[in-house]
Structure 1
Amino acid sequence: MAAISTRQRFGARSTAARIGVWSGLAVITVWTLAPIAVMVFTSFKPSGEIFQIPPTLLPSDWTLENYVSVFTTSSMPQALRNSVVVGLLVALMTLTLGTSAGYALARISFRGARSISLFILLGQMVPLTVLLLALFRMINALGFNDTVVGVAMAHLVITLPLVTWMIRNQIAAIPYELEEAAMVDGCSRLDAFLYAVLPVAGPGLAASGMFAFLQSWHEFVLASVLTRSDESRTAPVALTEFATEFDVDWGATMAASVILTVPLVIAFVALQRYLVNGLTGGAVKG
């Protein structure tokens, strides 16, 4: 009887714990998704309904007027193209430089390797505003001011330090015996890297590239300082044109925000498996 009573008490505590965990997850989910729901539904409301009292979540008259305005009377289409180009350039440059540096830090032993690794991470600790003037002068001196290439080069400051560490951990988790076996079979070190290491590190590289793209996609401060014209302005900066000195077109702002969010959701769903595997693959060595 005592054993049965103990099991019942344990089962009751376990059930209560599960209820508590699921309740907490439900609260976090609602807290996270509520602003997104407001953004989406507001984008389908006519302007006169957005500020009605009492407020409503669902629009009574659904309209695509805000989306038509975004695509026909604003610079958002050009800005979206600029954001895609900048994001792809950032992902490509970050992977190229980060993979080279990450491989060197993971495989090549030299004096100061640990100090250099820690120094690279300092880039994540410096406030971005501290670097604005220096970055602006550097990009301007290179002749890339007010260009998508200049914005992409500036975004490397945000993406490269952490991506280098992510790739370093990925490569360090791959047994060096794979490269040794390839070199014994006649491969050079470069061939061993290309044919033995890269295929295994593929999920990590995909996760790193996606991380770099996402960081570039929603970056505002650097893009707002380095761009002036519609030919180079990115989407987060273009969002500001819906706000004037005395008014804000909230319907168009919400519609443009939805348009900015949809590509990220599609990319995450398409690459979710690689992202999860890549972020966790370097957690355990061996």
Structure 2
Amino acid sequence: MAATAQRPAGARSIGARLGVWFGLAVIAVWTLAPIAVMVFTSFKPSGEIFTVPPTLLPREWTLANYLSVFTTSSMPQALRNSVVVGLLVALLTLTLGTSAGYALARIRFRGARSVSLFILLGQMVPLTVLLLALFRMINAIGFSDTVVGVALAHLVITLPLVTWMIRNQIAAIPYELEEAAMIDGCSRVDAVLYAVLPVAGPGLAAAGMFAFLQSWHEFVLASVLTRSDRSRTAPIALTEFATEFDVDWGATMAASVVLTVPLVIAFVALQRYLVNGLTGGAVKG
């Protein structure tokens, strides 16, 4: 009787698991299908892209679209600019966000929580409202049409949320860890560098990746602050393949694939750091 009574529960459990896996499969297909279309379209000749009926795989594979991207467009220079801007934004965001986040998490002063919430208001302001002010500020400090100017403007997007993320990450670390380090002879700065930051490493890595991603695909600020190929980023260069009367979809898809590859490489490189950060640091052993 007991075995008979358990069968319906087991059947329900299997049904629930199948439902979960089916839902995950649907989400995966829905997410990966546009990427697959983008990748395979980048290898199609221009005359095959709009054939009826449409096909996913190319009938004739070609690298002409990638040759066009790397030889007849400004995409190579734009990619270099995007990498430089993204790294600058990640570095500046982590430096400023970690300093501000630590102060908000550890230093007790009146209105600390209000200041934390006020910082988040920067995420609520529409970016278009800040365009004129940012444009005039970047011009005033002499960084107009430069990768440094674009990076400084992108801090408006990344710094508020990263500061809040790091503040919560540090607040979750026991203060006794710093006290133990200072008892052993460390200064407060040394305690933060060698005791707190290794424990907060995964959170800092996630915050740095968030800042890099936000800078990598940002279009509005870069389109306003750049005027030449020396500072134009990859999302802006992507518009070169669209003219008034025609769009080179093959080259556009090839450029989109090229834009995606650095993100995949960054995630693969970051994964090892995340594992080391979770298993190492001051709490090891």
- Partner residue of 1:24? 23
Report sequence identity in percent: 89
CA contact (8 A) 1:207 1:278 kept: no
Aligned partners of 1:113, 1:243: CA distance in 2, in Å? 49
- Partner residue of 1:202? 201
Provide Cα deviations, 1:75-123, integer angstroms capped at 9, x if missing partner.
Answer: 0000000000000100110011001000000110001100000001111
Structure 1 letter corresponding to 2:76: P
TM-score for both structures, normalised by structure 1: 0.94
- Partner residue of 2:66? 67
Provide Cα deviations, 1:109-146, integer angstroms capped at 9, x if missing partner.
Answer: 00110000000111111111111111111111111111
2:144 equivalent to 1:137: no
Structure 2 letter corresponding to 1:271: L
Aligned partners of 2:218, 2:153: CA distance in 1, in Å? 11
Structure 2 letter corresponding to 1:200: V
- After TM superposition, the structure 1 stretch with the greater mean CA deviation from structure 2, 117-126 or 59-68, is 117-126
Structure 1: segments with no counterpart, 5+ residues: 280-286
CA distance change for structure 1 residues 210 and 229 in 2, over 3 Å: closer, same or farther?
A: same
Describe the SS at the equivalent of 2:60: coil
CA distance change for structure 1 residues 278 and 194 in 2, over 3 Å: closer, same or farther?
A: closer
CA contact (8 A) 2:201 2:274 kept: no
CA contact (8 A) 2:102 2:166 kept: yes
CA contact (8 A) 2:241 2:251 kept: yes
Describe the SS at the equivalent of 1:244: coil
- Partner residue of 1:44? 43
Aligned partners of 1:89, 1:248: CA distance in 2, in Å? 32
Aligned partners of 2:237, 2:155: CA distance in 1, in Å? 21
CA contact (8 A) 2:82 2:234 kept: yes
Structure 1 letter corresponding to 2:177: L
1:46-125 equivalence runs, <5 A: 46-125=45-124
Aligned partners of 1:11, 1:92: CA distance in 2, in Å? 52
Structure 1 letter corresponding to 2:162: V
- Partner residue of 2:229? 230
CA contact (8 A) 2:45 2:62 kept: yes
1:4 Cα deviation after fit: 2.8
RMSD of equivalent CA atoms: 1.5
Provide Cα deviations, 1:41-83, integer angstroms capped at 9, x if missing partner.
Answer: 0000001100111111000000000000000000000000000
Structure 1 letter corresponding to 2:147: V
- Partner residue of 1:211? 210
1:277 Cα deviation after fit: 9.2
1:238-249 equivalence runs, <5 A: 238-249=237-248
1:5 Cα deviation after fit: 2.9
Describe the SS at the equivalent of 2:224: helix
- Partner residue of 2:158? 159
- Partner residue of 2:281? none
- Partner residue of 1:126? 125
CA contact (8 A) 2:122 2:156 kept: yes
CA contact (8 A) 1:204 1:278 kept: no
Q: Which runs of 4+ in 1 moved over 4 A?
A: 273-279
CA contact (8 A) 2:182 2:188 kept: yes
TM-score for both structures, normalised by structure 2: 0.94
Structure 2 letter corresponding to 1:159: T
